[in-house]
């Protein structure tokens, strides 16, 4: 006998109708599927075997239905054993990176016993860790496979003690009226907090399961992106690279601008510099020149839009006389430039055209001598 049970979390239409256009995902975002099994004994399952989603603190079914399907072989074990289910697999399409707030994945584990001594439990623990499942979302369970005729299926929610609920519960879970289950018909009830689902076989002592698959899909309302660290002011020498970045939570898109509101794009600029990363967390201005000086900011967004960062100021100095980059402007910088102009090594990688006339020559050395002596950059 093969039974597959799926649990699906979907957003409550009453709570998210207003936000659905921007913020609510209705497609499969995360899915977990794995199997645990008992050794097959080749026996035939008897009609009327019950499967139950239940509350362990109340141990009662709130919704029941009848699964229809073909009779199949069942399994048995002589004693109880612990079987952890495998970790999550992220659905490659269409979710991809559309759930940045989902930091910790749920875990699944099951304790399986010989049904003659104890029920069969399968636990699915859901722990959204930010921005995730709305209060009042619904959870839907579906029979995805076959079972023997007249198998009773019940659904309920268990809230384990000691769990920190990130989403306050406003009411006890409520279930739809009892329905008859047949693939792919399902049933649903309110999901208002971190919870776990328990699948229990209650078959009066007869083994009832060979393989049990749990497929969980989470659909939830995403929170607006948040900027955790604003871009910082930057001072650059002419011809060097300047960089600004934002640290955020939840953003899927980035748009950098130059004040007042000039959108930036990758590639060369009229000033002679090059923009890199205009649509990423980090904006780089390669070969920055004095006309690039100004204020820059980033707009971070996701499906719920997002905030605008504060502006960071780029200052491009008229010149940077510390050519050997030892932290001091002195004769050592003059000697360093003389060596470069004469064809020597340039370990700091500075531009020897200090006066920016297009030629590295004695004129650059004279300009540097003037600056080291206290004169203005030319």
What would the pLDDT profile of 137-178 be if each residue is shown by its tens digit? 333 332 222 223 333 333 333 333 322 222 222 222 222 222
Both tokens of 273, joined, read 């510099």
Q: How large is the C-alpha radius of gyration of the chain? A: 32
- Does CATH number 3.40.50.2300 belong to domain 226-316? no
Name the nearest CA neighbour of 66 among 76, 80, 52, 45: 52
Are the C-beta atoms of residues 301 and 221 closer than 8 Å to each other?
Answer: no
Peptide bond into 89 cis (omega under 30): no
Q: Calculate the alpha carbon distances from 269 to 223, 285, 295 in Å.
A: 36, 9, 16
Domain assignments of the chain as residue spans, ordered by start: 2-218, 226-316, 331-372
pTM, two decimals, is 0.43
Are the C-beta atoms of residues 304 and 223 closer than 8 Å to each other?
Answer: yes
Are the C-beta atoms of residues 64 and 49 closer than 8 Å to each other?
Answer: no
Both tokens of 59, joined, read 């141990």
Tens-digit pLDDT string for the chain (378 aa)? 222 222 322 222 222 222 222 333 322 222 222 222 222 233 333 333 322 222 222 222 222 222 222 222 222 222 222 222 222 222 222 222 222 222 222 222 222 222 222 222 333 333 332 223 333 333 333 222 222 333 333 333 333 332 222 222 222 222 222 222 222 222 222 233 333 333 333 333 333 332 233 333 333 345 567 888 899 999 888 888 999 999 887 778 899 999 999 999 999 999 999 999 999 999 999 999 999 999 999 999 876 677 899 999 999 988 888 888 888 889 998 999 999 999 999 998 888 888 888 899 999 899 889 888 888 876
Both tokens of 349, joined, read 């990688």
Non-local CB neighbours of 261 within 8 Å, separated by 6+ positions: none
Q: Calculate the alpha carbon distances from 359 to 38, 341, 352 in Å.
A: 81, 10, 8
Q: What is the largest CA-CA distance in the chain?
A: 100
Look at the block and give the residue holding tokens 């009066």: 204
How far from the centroid of its chain's Cα atoms is residue 345's Cα? 47
Exposure string for 68-89, b = 16+ CB within 10 A, e = fewer? bbeebebbbbeeeeeeebeebe
Cα–Cα distance for residue pair 284/171, rounded to 1 Å: 51
Non-local CB neighbours of 191 within 8 Å, separated by 6+ positions: 9, 133, 136, 137, 138, 139, 157, 173
């Amino acid at each position: 006998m093969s039974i597959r049970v799926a649990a699906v979390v979907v957003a409550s239409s009453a709570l998210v109708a207003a936000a659905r256009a921007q913020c609510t995902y209705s497609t499969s975002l995360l899915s977990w599927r794995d199997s645990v099994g008992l050794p097959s004994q080749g026996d035939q399952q008897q009609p009327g075997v019950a499967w139950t989603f239940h509350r362990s603190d109340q141990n009662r079914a709130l919704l029941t239905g009848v699964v229809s399907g073909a009779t199949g072989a069942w399994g048995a074990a002589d004693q109880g054993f612990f079987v952890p289910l495998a970790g999550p697999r992220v659905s490659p399409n269409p979710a991809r990176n559309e759930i940045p707030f989902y930091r910790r994945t749920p875990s699944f584990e099951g304790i399986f016993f010989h049904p003659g001594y104890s029920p069969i439990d399968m636990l699915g623990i859901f722990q959204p860790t930010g921005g995730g499942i709305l209060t009042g979302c619904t959870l839907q369970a579906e029979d995805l496979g076959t079972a023997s005729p007249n198998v009773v299926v019940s659904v309920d929610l268990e809230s384990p003690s000691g769990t920190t609920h990130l989403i306050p519960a406003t009411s006890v879970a409520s279930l739809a009226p009892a329905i008859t289950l047949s693939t792919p018909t399902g049933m649903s009830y309110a999901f208002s907090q971190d919870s776990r689902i328990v699948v229990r076989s209650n078959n009066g002592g007869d083994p009832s399961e060979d393989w049990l698959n749990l497929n969980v899909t989470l659909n939830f309302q995403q929170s607006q992106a948040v900027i955790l660290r604003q871009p910082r002011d930057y001072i650059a020498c002419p011809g060097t690279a300047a960089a600004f970045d934002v640290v955020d939570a939840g953003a899927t898109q980035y748009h950098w601008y130059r004040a007042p509101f000039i959108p930036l794009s990758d590639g060369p600029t009229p000033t002679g510099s090059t923009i890199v990363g205009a649509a990423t967390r980090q904006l780089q201005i390669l070969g920055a020149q004095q006309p690039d000086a100004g204020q820059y900011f980033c707009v971070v967004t996701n499906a719920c839009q997002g905030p605008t960062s504060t502006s960071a100021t780029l200052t491009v100095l008229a010149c940077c006389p510390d050519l050997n980059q030892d932290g001091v402007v002195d004769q050592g910088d003059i000697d360093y430039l003389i060596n470069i102009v004469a064809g020597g090594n340039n370990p700091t990688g500075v531009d020897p055209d200090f006066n920016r006339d297009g030629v590295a020559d004695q004129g650059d050395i004279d300009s540097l001598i003037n600056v080291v002596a206290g004169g203005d950059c030319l």
